[in-house]
Amino acid sequence: MWIVRWIIVASVIILILGLALQNDDLVELSFFTWNSGEIPVYMVIYLSFAAGMIVFLLLSIFHSVQQSFVIRKQKRTIRKLEAELDSFRTAVAEEKESLPESRESGEDEVTKGTTTPPE
């Protein structure tokens, strides 16, 4: 696997060098009142690429931080819901223990006709 990675890295370096060798013309950049002086075209391309990568990195960091806040909030909600579920399970278990003996033996009060309908 390391050889494939090495071949890919070497290919990218050769492509970058080829771009630099073919674009060595000098250009002058100006932005409002600022002038850069004459610099090679490949340098403009590389600096533009680097600036784009930095912007992408900053946006990715912002997104990651935002997602970590969402995950933390969801974990807190899960803990609350699990506690609520446990309390319901405990209540059901206590209710089963407090049922009359006739329910546990299989006799149903509804068949006897002694119960009232639930509200």
Domain count across the chain = 1
Question: What is the full DSSP assignment across 21-42?
Answer: HH---EEEEEETTEEEEEEEHH
pTM comes to 0.54
pLDDT at 104: 52
Domain membership flag for residue 74 = yes
Neighbours of 20 (CB within 10 A): 15
Domain membership flag for residue 6 = no
Collect all residues with Cβ–Cβ distance below 8 Å to 38 and sequence separation of at least 6: 26, 27, 28
Domain membership flag for residue 3 = no
Residues 10-48 have pLDDT tens digits of 888 888 888 777 877 888 888 888 888 888 888 888 888
Q: Which domain holds residue 85?
A: 19-96
Domain membership flag for residue 13 = no
Residue for token digits 């990218």? 12
Residues 40-80 have pLDDT tens digits of 888 888 888 889 889 999 999 999 999 999 999 999 999 99
* Residue 119 and residue 113 in contact, taking contact as beta carbons nearer than 8 Å: no
110 vs 97, which has greater pLDDT?
97
Domain membership flag for residue 26 = yes
Domain membership flag for residue 32 = yes
102 vs 63, which has greater pLDDT?
63
Domain membership flag for residue 103 = no
